[in-house]
Amino acid sequence: MSAAKIFGTLPSGESVERVELSSGRLRAEVLTYGAVLRSLEVSGVNVVLGLDTVEDYLTRSRYFGAVVGRYGNRIAQGRFTLDGTEYRLPVNNGVNSLHGGTHGFDSTVWTIEDQTDSSVTLTLTSPDGDQGYPGTLTASVTYTLENDAIRLDYATETDAPTVVNLTNHTYFNLAGGGDVRDHVVQMDAEHYLPVDDTKIPTGELAPVKGTPFDFTTPHAVGERYDGAYDHCFVLTGGARVTAGDLTMECTTTEPGVQFYTGSMLDGVATPYGPFAGLCLETQHFPDSPNQPQFPSTVLRPGERRTSTTTYRFI
């Protein structure tokens, strides 16, 4: 087992460590900053988008490889009510709160709790009131390489009622570069969540049949909808992405996946241009705290919320 190495130093003086993992034909690097999956090599080809320095992650990242929270995706108007109390969150995406606010888990240094040659467990504690969320939340994520797959295991606990929705925001490019609009996608999802003009779900679970959102049979990303997807799909199974001879199969215990094709990357504020990578962010639905018909994201004292997502390469 190789020891964690220093990747860089934050302006606060806090060190960011880098952990190297390996198993079979897979190699990965994980940072303590944001619990970022910085690289993932499959037979020597890096299939995720990463950055070179701590400064890049501070100034040029669009959540590249990070674990986002306390609430991944959007909460309408940056507010929700829980047990009769309204909570206000930082608004950082138009009129909405996105990925936990202005200083979410993606921009926090996690602690290495455990490490082997093929796995690492990172933990953090989010104090009561952090970004407006109630309760002190403890969170962990474990990255494990095994049998041509990378598995992410999440766990959270709280000392007061709160909401939580962790996900990973890795951008995948199975060709190791270029445009992902020629990647072919198939999803076991007969419904998706239509959104308003601020990307908040309308509350409907709409059938994909007969729409550009039907990936129940394989379609290239750029074949329809200008390739510019940023929508949550209701999963009944897994999802598959193929580029050339490589296929990635995604399975999860979560009810949905945000399929984002990187259309808003600009090649200026980040090193990557539009459609340089696509995300399969397994998660609960956006804005669930305000939409009681969606699966609940409420976590209460005495409960332990866990979830698992696996990306397998064949």
* 171 in a known ligand binding site: yes
pLDDT in tens, 135-174: 999 999 999 999 899 999 999 999 999 999 999 999 999 9
**Given 29, 157, 254, 281, the catalytic residue:** 281
By the 10 Å C-beta count (0-12 exposed, 13-18 middle, 19+ buried), 60 is classed as middle
At residue 217, the pLDDT reads: 98
Residue 281 annotated among the catalytic residues of the structure: yes
Structural domain boundaries of the chain? 5-178+268-313
3 falls in which pLDDT band (50, 70, 90)? Answer: confident
pLDDT in tens, 82-116: 999 999 999 999 999 999 999 999 999 999 999 99
| 1 pLDDT above the threshold of 80 | no
* 266 in a known ligand binding site: no
At residue 2, the pLDDT reads: 75
pLDDT in tens, 239-268: 999 999 999 999 999 999 999 999 999 998
* 214 in a known ligand binding site: no
At residue 147, the pLDDT reads: 87
pLDDT in tens, 49-73: 999 999 999 999 999 999 999 999 9
Q: List the end-to-end C-alpha distance of the chain, in Å, as a whole number.
A: 26
131 three-class SS: helix
At residue 289, the pLDDT reads: 98
**Given 99, 169, 183, 231, the catalytic residue:** 169
* 169 in a known ligand binding site: yes
* 99 in a known ligand binding site: no
| 297 pLDDT above the threshold of 80 | yes
At residue 42, the pLDDT reads: 98
Q: Are 207 and 191 in contact (CB under 8 A)?
A: yes
Rounded mean pLDDT, 32-45: 98
Domain 5-178+268-313 coded CATH 2.40.37.20: no
* 192 in a known ligand binding site: no
DSSP 178-247: S-GGG-EEEE--SEE--B-TTS-B-S--EE-TTSTT--SS-EEGGGSGGG--EEEEE-SS-EEEEETTEE
